[in-house]
Chains A and B, each alone.
Chain A
Amino acid sequence: GQNIDQPTEMTATEGAIVQINCTYQTSGFNGLFWYQQHAGEAPTFLSYNVLDGLEEKGRFSSFLSRSKGYSYLLLKELQMKDSASYLCSDNYGQNFVFGPGTRLSVLP
């Protein structure tokens, strides 16, 4: 199957670090994506992993372990504007499957 699980909600403080986990169960794996979606807006691409390990892009990093079917998105130096939903997505074949999204609230 193509089930993707991630926590529904998380809360963190401005300036802190937060880790959003994602587990997936799929075959024909072609990459694990993270998107950011502000309320009422379109998702925008954040990060992508196809090989095991850590990919760093500024304040955002994403990690993948294919053997464990596990990924996480790490957000450093949190800012208020980081309050959004974070969607984990698996690319298999020519299709994309999304998890339920994690709604992150950043508090002052």
Chain B
Amino acid sequence: DGGITQSPKYLFRKEGQNVTLSCEQNLNHDAMYWYRQDPGQGLRLIYYSQIVNDFQKGDIAEGYSVSREKKESFPLTVTSAQKNPTAFYLCASSIKGPGANVLTFGAGSRLTVL
């Protein structure tokens, strides 16, 4: 079955460490997205990519980095520069192009900074 796989599901990090969250999709979707979700708030866009080797900053990109070397993969690195990284991170994908397309989400990764 096609879908999006995020790993790890739970991750603990010490302050000052970088961590990378994996996101893999086999839906043949061109566009991929990373969102952050905090309690009581909506999903906020960190980065998105419409095509391989290209990506754009979202609303809260500071302290994060991404790469898109393959169509299927869009890993997110949470760097030590991110001051408040404890959150639920969601990866999503959609068919490329303007107009309305449905987002398909992964199961999420919950990051806790100790």
Write the residues of chain A forming the contact surface with B, with a CB cutoff of 8 angstroms.
Answer: 4, 8, 30-31, 33, 35, 40-45, 48, 50, 87, 89, 91, 93-101
Are the C-beta atoms of A96 and B41 separated by less than 8 Å?
Answer: no
Are the C-beta atoms of A48 and B42 separated by less than 8 Å?
Answer: no
Known: A30-B99, A48-B102. 19 other contacts (CB 8 A): A31-B100, A33-B100, A40-B88, A42-B105, A42-B108, A43-B43, A45-B103, A87-B42, A91-B100, A91-B101, A93-B98, A94-B31, A95-B45, A95-B48, A96-B33, A96-B103, A98-B42, A98-B44, A100-B41
Are the C-beta atoms of A99 and B42 separated by less than 8 Å?
Answer: yes
User: CA separation between A42 and B103, bound complex, in Å?
Assistant: 11
User: What number of residue pairs across chains A and B have CB atoms under 8 A from each other?
Assistant: 62
- Considering only residues 62-98 of chain B, those with a C-beta below 8 Å from chain A are 88, 90, 96-98
Residue of A50, A87, A98, A100 touching B100 (CB-CB under 8 A): A50
Residue count of chain B within 8 Å CB distance of chain A: 28
Most chain B beta-carbon neighbours within 10 Å: one of A8, A97, A99: A97
User: CA separation between A98 and B33, bound complex, in Å?
Assistant: 13
Q: Is B25 an interface residue (CB 8 A)?
A: no
User: CA separation between A94 and B33, bound complex, in Å?
Assistant: 11
Are the C-beta atoms of A30 and B43 separated by less than 8 Å?
Answer: no
Chain A contact residues: over half helix, strand or loop, or mixed? strand
Are the C-beta atoms of A94 and B50 separated by less than 8 Å?
Answer: yes
Contacts of B45 in A (CB 8 A): 95-97
User: CA separation between A74 and B35, bound complex, in Å?
Assistant: 26
Are the C-beta atoms of B101 and A87 separated by less than 8 Å?
Answer: no
Q: Is B2 an interface residue (CB 8 A)?
A: no
In this complex, what residue of B is CB-closest to A32? B100
User: CA separation between A8 and B44, bound complex, in Å?
Assistant: 16
Are the C-beta atoms of B105 and A44 separated by less than 8 Å?
Answer: yes
Residue of A42, A87, A95 touching B107 (CB-CB under 8 A): A42
- Considering only residues 1-57 of chain B, those with a C-beta below 8 Å from chain A are 31, 33, 35, 40-45, 48, 50
